[in-house]
C-alpha cells in the first residue's frame, strides 16, 4: 500500500499532560541538541557520521505483528504520532517482529492500514528529507547478535543450560531471592563458544538460553538475570530461515529504540518494572561504543480500558476462532478494522483519545464517551434520510380522491442536512401506500401517545397531515396495515400547512420507491462493563442481542449510496453502508450508534 501523506492538523498544542511537560522540559534544557542521525537506524559510528537530527524529538509506535490492532492501541498511536507532530519531531512505525511463531504478513499489512486510516503518517516531513520511518526489528537481528556477543565478552551475559522448570524454581519470588545458575560462572570464552553453537543450530530448541548476568537477589525480579536469546527453529516472515535463535522482547526493544535514536520511549504501565533493565542494557552497550548517546529514556502512561469490551489478543482470537463473531472485522469487535466497518470515524476515535487524557494510572472509560465523540463528529456531516426498520403499511384511503388517481406521485423534499444548505435537498414522493414504523400505531393509545390511533391526526414528516381511521388484521389478529386519510392543504412547506395542529410527527417511506435493505442492528458485545473482571469467563456475558438482522425500507436518496457512506436515519441513529457486503442491488447498512446513549444509568 502507498504511505499516507497527511496527518491530522495541529491547530494548537493540546492540553498539557505529564508527557508534554517532560518533552517541553527536555527541549528547554537542550536535550539532544547535538544528536546526530544517520541515513536511517544504525549503531554509534553510523550516527556519528550523520548530520544533526532535524527532528527535535523521535517517538515510535512499536506493535508486534501477531494480531489486529484494537481500540487500546489507538491511544498509543495517537499519543506517539501526536507528540512527534506537535513538537517538530518524527514518529516511527516499527514492527517488533521478534517472535516468528505468532507473526504474519497479514498482520503487518493490517497494522499499516489502520495507522494510516487513523490519519497518521510515518513519512518524515519534507523539511526533514524524503525518508520513510517504517522499520522492522528483524532488520536489526545482526546488530542484536553482535550486542549479545559483546555482553558475553564483557562477562555481562552467560549461556544457561538449566531446564525451564529449574530456571523458574531458581528465580525465587517477591519474598525469596533467586539462586545463581550452576552455569553462571563459566568464562566468557566458554559462554561465547556456547552462544555461537546456539546460533549455528548445534543444540535443539529449548536446550539453553542466553541470560544477562545482573543480580539474582534483586528485589526487582526482572533484574534476576533475564533471558536475552532462545533457540527457536521457526520461519520468520521477514528473515526466513536465516536464524534459529531469536532475541527476547525485553532485550530487543531497548536496542531498537537506541538504533532508531528514539528520544522518548513511551509505553504502558506494565513495562515500568522493565525500565531498570532497559537502562542497564543501553548503558553497557553505549559504554562499549555500540550505541550512540544520548540514549532513549522510557516513560510509562496508563493504558486505555474501554467498558463493555475485551482487548486481550488471546480472548479476541477466541471470539473469532470459536465463531462468537464473524471475524476480526466483525462490527462488534473492538479491533480497529471492526470499528471501521461498524462506521466509527478516525476523527471520533482521535477525539476520544484526546478527551480522556494521559495519566500515570490505568483507568476505565465508559463506552458512552466513545459514542458521544462519534455523534459529535457525525452530527455535523452525516446526511439525513428516512428509514423504516420495523415496517407496517399505511394505506391512504382517500389518496385518489385528493390527487385524482392512485398512480399520482406527489413530490416531497427535505434538506440533506438541516445545517448544511450546500448539501442541497433530497427528493422523494408520496403514494397511496407507505411504510411506517409499527410502533407509530396503537389501537388503544397509552397515556401521552401522540402518533396514530383511530381518530387521531399526525404529520408525515416533510409530507401531509393524516388522520387514522383504523387498521386491517389477519386471521391471527395481527395488524397488517394501518388505515388513514390525507388532510388536504397540509403539505409541509406550503401556505396554510400548519393550520391543522398535531403533536405527533412520523417518518415514512413510500412503497412504490422504497429501497429494501438488510439492516444489521448492532449493540455492545457484552452485557457487563468489565466482561472478564475477577477472572470471570467473559463468554458467559456475551450479549445475545448484540446483533439483529432485519429487512427495512429506505428513502430513494440512498439508492445510489456506496460502501462506507454514513447517514443519520432520522429517529433511529447513525448507520453506515457496510464496506464489505453492501452493493447497489443488495444494500446492507450497519447501525453505528443511536441518537443518544441507550445504556443510560
Residues marked as catalytic: 64, 303, 313
Helix (H, G, I), strand (E, B) or coil at 108: helix
What region does 99 belong to: left with phi over 0, alpha with psi -120 to 50, or beta?
A: beta
Is the CB of residue 463 less than 8 Å from the CB of residue 492?
Answer: yes
Could you give the CA distance from residue 522 to residue 327 in angstroms, rounded to a whole number?
Answer: 15
Determine the length of the chain: 601
Q: Backbone phi, then psi, for 169, in 5-degree steps?
A: -70, -35
> CA Rg, the chain, in Å?
31
What does the block give as the cell for 24? Answer: 517541553
Known binding residue 71? Answer is yes
User: Is 75 annotated for ligand binding?
Assistant: yes
Please check if 28 is assigned to a binding site.
Answer: no
543 assigned ligand-binding residue: no
Mapping DSSP onto H, E and C, the string for 30-57 reads CCCCCCECCCCCCCHHHHHCCCECCCCC
Three-state SS for 474-532 is CCCCCEEEEEEEECCCCCCCCCCCCCCCCCCEECEEEHHHCEEEEEEEECCCECCCCCC
The answer to whether 507 is annotated as binding is no
**DSSP, res 295:** P
Is 66 annotated as belonging to a binding site? Answer: yes
Query: Cα(508)–Cα(511) distance, rounded to whole angstroms?
Result: 9
Cβ(546)–Cβ(525) below 8 Å? yes
Calpha distance 444→465 (Å, rounded): 20
DSSP reduced 3-state for 562 = coil
Q: Is there a binding annotation on residue 74?
A: yes
Among 372, 331, 364, smallest CA distance to 348 is for 372
Place of cell 397488517: 480
Contacts of 193 (CB under 8 A, 6+ apart): none
Cα-based angle 47, 49, 53 (whole degrees, multiple of 5): 55
Residue 437: enclosing H or E segment and its boundaries? strand 433-437
450 marked as part of a ligand binding site: no
406 is in an annotated binding site: no
Closest to 391 in 3D by CA, of 551, 595, 587: 551
Report the C-alpha gap between 465 and 456 in whole angstroms: 10
Distance of CA 281 to CAs 264, 285, 286, 368, 470, Å? 16, 6, 9, 43, 82
Q: Is 70 annotated as a binding residue?
A: yes
Strand residue runs (E) in 258-402? 264-268, 297-301, 304-306, 363-365, 383-385, 387-388, 391-396
Q: Is 240 annotated as a binding residue?
A: no
Q: Any known ligand binding at 64?
A: yes
Task: Give just the sign of the alpha carbon dihedral 555, 561, 567, 572.
Answer: positive
The three three-digit cell numbers of residue 98, written as one number: 521478534
- Cell triple for 288: 562499549
Percent helix, percent strand, percent coil in the chain, to nearest 5:
30, 25, 45
584 is in an annotated binding site: no
Q: Known binding site for ATP: residues?
A: 64-66, 70-76, 268, 303-304
Annotated binding site: 64-66, 70-76, 96, 249, 268, 303-304
Cite the annotated binding site for L-glutamine by residue number.
96, 249
Amino acid at each position: 500500500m502507498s504511505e499516507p501523506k497527511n496527518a491530522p492538523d495541529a491547530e494548537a498544542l493540546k492540553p498539557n499532560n505529564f508527557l508534554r511537560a517532560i518533552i517541553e522540559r527536555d527541549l528547554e534544557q537542550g536535550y539532544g541538541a547535538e544528536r546526530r542521525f544517520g541515513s536511517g537506524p544504525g549503531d554509534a559510528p553510523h550516527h556519528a557520521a550523520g548530520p544533526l537530527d532535524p527532528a527535535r524529538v523521535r517517538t515510535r509506535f512499536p506493535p508486534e505483528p501477531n494480531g489486529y490492532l484494537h481500540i487500546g492501541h489507538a491511544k498509543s498511536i495517537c499519543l506517539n504520532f501526536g507528540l512527534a507532530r506537535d513538537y517538530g519531531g518524527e514518529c516511527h512505525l516499527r514492527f517488533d517482529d521478534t517472535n516468528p511463531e505468532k507473526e504474519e504478513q497479514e498482520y503487518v499489512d493490517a497494522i499499516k492500514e489502520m495507522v494510516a486510516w487513523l490519519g497518521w503518517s510515518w513519512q518524515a516531513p519534507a523539511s526533514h528529507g524524503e525518508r520513510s520511518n517504517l522499520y522492522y526489528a528483524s532488520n536489526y537481528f545482526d546488530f542484536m547478535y553482535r550486542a549479545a556477543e559483546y555482553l558475553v565478552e564483557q562477562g555481562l551475559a552467560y549461556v544457561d543450560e538449566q531446564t525451564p522448570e529449574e530456571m523458574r524454581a531458581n528465580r525465587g519470588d517477591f519474598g525469596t531471592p533467586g539462586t545463581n545458575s550452576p552455569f553462571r560462572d563459566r568464562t566468557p570464552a566458554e559462554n561465547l563458544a556456547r552462544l555461537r553453537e546456539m546460533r549455528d543450530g548445534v543444540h535443539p530448541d529449548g536446550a539453553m538460553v542466553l541470560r544477562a548476568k545482573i543480580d539474582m537477589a534483586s528485589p526487582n525480579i526482572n533484574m534476576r538475570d533475564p533471558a536475552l536469546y532462545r533457540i527457536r527453529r521457526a520461519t520468520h516472515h521477514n528473515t526466513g530461515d536465516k536464524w534459529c535463535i531469536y532475541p527476547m522482547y525485553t532485550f530487543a526493544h531497548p536496542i531498537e529504540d537506541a538504533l532508531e535514536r528514539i528520544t522518548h520511549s513511551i509505553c504502558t504501565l506494565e513495562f515500568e518494572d522493565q525500565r531498570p533493565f532497559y537502562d542497564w542494557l543501553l548503558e553497557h552497550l553505549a559504554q562499549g561504543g555500540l550505541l550512540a548517546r544520548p540514549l532513549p529514556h522510557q516513560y510509562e502512561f496508563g493504558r486505555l480500558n474501554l467498558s463493555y469490551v475485551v482487548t486481550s489478543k488471546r480472548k479476541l482470537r477466541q471470539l473469532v476462532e470459536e465463531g462468537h463473531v464473524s471475524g476480526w472485522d466483525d462490527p462488534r469487535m473492538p479491533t480497529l478494522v471492526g470499528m471501521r466497518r461498524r462506521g466509527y470515524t478516525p476523527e471520533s476515535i482521535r477525539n476520544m483519545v484526546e478527551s480522556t487524557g494521559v495519566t500515570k494510572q490505568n483507568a476505565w472509560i465508559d463506552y458512552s464517551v466513545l459514542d458521544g465523540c462519534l455523534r459529535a463528529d457525525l452530527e455535523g456531516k452525516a446526511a439525513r434520510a428516512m428509514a423504516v426498520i420495523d415496517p407496517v403499511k399505511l394505506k391512504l384511503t382517500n389518496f385518489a380522491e385528493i390527487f385524482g388517481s392512485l398512480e399520482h406521485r406527489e413530490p416531497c423534499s427535505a434538506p440533506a442536512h438541516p445545517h448544511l444548505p450546500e448539501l442541497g435537498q433530497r427528493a422523494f414522493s408520496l403514494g397511496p401506500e407507505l411504510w411506517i414504523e409499527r410502533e407509530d400505531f396503537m389501537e388503544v393509545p397509552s397515556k401521552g401517545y401522540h402518533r396514530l390511533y383511530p381518530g387521531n391526526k399526525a404529520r408525515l414528516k416533510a409530507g401531509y397531515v393524516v388522520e387514522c381511521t383504523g387498521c386491517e388484521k389477519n386471521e391471527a389478529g395481527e395488524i397488517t396495515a394501518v388505515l388513514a386519510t390525507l388532510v388536504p392543504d397540509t403539505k409541509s412547506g406550503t401556505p396554510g400547512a400548519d393550520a391543522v395542529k398535531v403533536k405527533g410527527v412520523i417518518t415514512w417511506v413510500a412503497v412504490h420507491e422504497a429501497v429494501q435493505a438488510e439492516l444489521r442492528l448492532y449493540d455492545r458485545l457484552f452485557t457487563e462493563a468489565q466482561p472478564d473482571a475477577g477472572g470471570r469467563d467473559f463468554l458467559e456475558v456475551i450479549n445475545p442481542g448484540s446483533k439483529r438482522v432485519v429487512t427495512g425500507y429506505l428513502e430513494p436518496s440512498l439508492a445510489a449510496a456506496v460502501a462506507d457512506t454514513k447517514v443519520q436515519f432520522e429517529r433511529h441513529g447513525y448507520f453506515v453502508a457496510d464496506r464489505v457486503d453492501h452493493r447497489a442491488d443488495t444494500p446492507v447498512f450497519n447501525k453505528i450508534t443511536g441518537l443518544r446513549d441507550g445504556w443510560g444509568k
